[in-house]
Structure 1
């Protein structure tokens, strides 16, 4: 419970007490490692994870160990560990996801895409793998492939807002503004408080020539949330039919004034 609440120091202390009674307590090791990583003390998590990995034939421990090794700059060791875990059968899918992410972080996004495709071949019904593959295609600037994969994921899980927002972002980046706007509206119908999606919807509307509706959407994002000014100003500036302000105060003044009478999307 402490770990889920991100009370990492409490979780660390409790896991440490459990390990004093039973050094081989697998769950305590996992909680301790996650807590140390959450505290930014990843280097301290490696030794207990290595010991647990030697005692147990446990792909979850091995995957977290690979993550920790990469997190402290021992990337070749971490990737080697993750490759070993990904080679297990039956497959442990999070190992593929972690391996692909670490390889992408090293700059080889094409290889990361290949790893996700390999994982999806082993578990073709996994919507989470489809989502991760779509995201990886976007990182590789393969927008058409991203839209194809994410469309299939949406068909399999139409109520997943994370899939909808990624699909909308792919369409937005691909210049399919009407499609992106419809998908963002669907996502916002499921999660109205998603401010980033509402800001991206505003960009789509402005690109479609609906500047008033787009600016109304941005006013809705900013209202009562001054910390969102930068994101809202960026949305206006990145649209080819938006507005650019040299000073944040000028953008704030424009957005806080009485808007024209348009329906907020």
Structure 2
């Protein structure tokens, strides 16, 4: 049942995950894994206040930084932001470091528009774990929130050198190059990302936008059709690539857009 609860959580079936985790806790009230799943499901449903009590009990019973971090998330969801931040600051003082606590703290500070503090938190985490690429991706996003593209690019360039096989690093760097109008460099970067991960439809849509800006309409439209691939959830992203570029297309009806994406090129 615990495995089913975890699977439901990963599938974003939060009501089912909550139900199954609650069933496990009826038989074993101190099951930390079930408490974690229950709390995550409640927070995802914007019911963080309900997760606070079981998490506080679990935290008092044991020494689990993961549950402490979840408790901070529940406190924040319940509107107790400062209490959440203080708890996370204490968790980040643990050694060995628990990196998700740094990421959660930086995220909460960023949501409160405390970007400089959030950057300092992630900078400290990078100092403790310089090889963790996810931290550099977090740092690049924070610099973008602060409208400092130069620093964001520098961080992503470092991340690319550390992890040349990570397609998400190339995708993030390509999007930054696109924002700066460096379409050829962005195109090359997106193509490298797709060589590493050919099934990434979002990156393929980004590549199509670059090709449109460079005037390569035929290649862009072919790329966009591949990105769409009959997947309805990609309709919004592909339509933005068409409408949001200077050499794209505009459709008055969604049905006309869908027909265009499904058609074969002349």
* Selected match of 1:3 from 2, 5, 12: 5
CA deviation vs aligned residue, 1:139-168 (integer Å, no higher than 9, x gap):
322222122111211222222222221121
* Structure 1 residues 217 and 75, CA gap change in structure 2 (3 angstroms): same
Alignment TM-score, normalising by the size of structure 1: 0.86
Question: What is the root-mean-square deviation of aligned Cα atoms in Å?
Answer: 2.4
* Structure 1 residues 16 and 115, CA gap change in structure 2 (3 angstroms): same
Do residues 213 (structure 1) and 219 (structure 2) align?
yes
CA deviation vs aligned residue, 1:69-118 (integer Å, no higher than 9, x gap):
11222222222211221233332211110011111112222322222112
After superposition, residues 67-86 of structure 1 pair within 5 angstroms as 67-86=73-92
| Structure 2: 5+ residue stretches without partners | none
Which residue of structure 2 aligns with residue 192 of structure 1?
A: 198
Do residues 183 (structure 1) and 189 (structure 2) align?
yes
| Structure 1: 5+ residue stretches without partners | 261-265
8 Å CA contact retained: 2:230, 2:262: no
Work out the CA distance in 2 between the residues paired with 1:14 and 1:141: 43
What is the CA distance between 1:197 and its match in structure 2? 0.7
8 Å CA contact retained: 1:2, 1:10: no
* Selected match of 2:34 from 24, 28, 37: 28
* Structure 1 residues 18 and 162, CA gap change in structure 2 (3 angstroms): same
8 Å CA contact retained: 1:63, 1:94: yes
8 Å CA contact retained: 1:143, 1:171: no
CA deviation vs aligned residue, 1:115-150 (integer Å, no higher than 9, x gap):
211211222222221121122222322222122111
Do residues 135 (structure 1) and 137 (structure 2) align?
no
Work out the CA distance in 2 between the residues paired with 1:19 and 1:233: 46
Q: Structure 1 residues 83-92 or 14-23, which shifts more?
A: 14-23
Work out the CA distance in 1 between the residues paired with 2:264 and 2:61: 66
Work out the CA distance in 1 between the residues paired with 2:176 and 2:132: 20
What is the CA distance between 1:34 and its match in structure 2? 2.6
Work out the CA distance in 2 between the residues paired with 1:58 and 1:222: 43
* Selected match of 2:131 from 125, 130, 142: 125
Work out the CA distance in 1 between the residues paired with 2:149 and 2:174: 11
Q: Structure 1 residues 177-186 or 35-44, which shifts more?
A: 35-44
After superposition, residues 165-184 of structure 1 pair within 5 angstroms as 165-184=171-190
What is the CA distance between 1:206 and its match in structure 2? 1.4
Count of residues in correspondence between the two structures: 260
What is the CA distance between 1:250 and its match in structure 2? 4.2
* Selected match of 2:100 from 94, 99, 119: 94
* Selected match of 1:155 from 139, 161, 168: 161
